[in-house]
């Protein structure tokens, strides 16, 4: 299966380190893409993988969990420029239950963490 860049939007406590750190990196990638004025995020929105207006707040959630787990976070994320995408795309909300089921289906470590 091909790994896609995505926002999981599930409780960070339920995420294994690989998915926690992976989503954190991907948020920086999404922010960089948008801040460079590129609007090539439509496919991520259409496939329930991106929630643009939540990038900054989600980054904060993930870094709080990283700190709890004693990881040294050193990559702040500033505001994200959403001007180049439509308001409808910017306001897309990920289906969290579907994302959770997808994560749990693909990752035994996340399945275990969910019940800890």
User: What pLDDT, on a 0 to 100 scale, did the predictor assign at position 42?
Assistant: 87
Average pLDDT over residues 104-113: 94
Place of tokens 């904060």: 60
Closest to 35 measured CA to CA, from 84, 74, 75: 84
**Residue 105 confidence (pLDDT) above 60:** yes
Residue 8 contacts residue 58 (beta carbons within 8 Å): no
Closest to 85 measured CA to CA, from 32, 39, 31: 39
User: What pLDDT, on a 0 to 100 scale, did the predictor assign at position 78?
Assistant: 86
C-alpha R_g of the chain = 14
């Amino acid at each position: 299966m091909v790994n896609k860049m995505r926002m999981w939007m599930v409780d960070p406590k339920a995420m294994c380190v690989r998915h926690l750190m992976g989503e954190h990196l991907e948020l920086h990638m999404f922010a960089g893409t948008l801040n460079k004025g590129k609007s090539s995020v439509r496919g991520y929105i259409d496939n329930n993988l991106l929630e643009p207006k939540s990038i900054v707040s989600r980054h904060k959630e993930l870094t709080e969990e990283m700190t709890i787990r004693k990881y040294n976070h050193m990559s702040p994320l500033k505001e994200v420029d959403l001007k180049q995408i439509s308001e409808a795309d910017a306001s897309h909300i990920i289906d969290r239950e579907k994302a959770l089921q997808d994560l749990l289906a693909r990752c035994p470590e996340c399945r275990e963490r969910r019940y800890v």
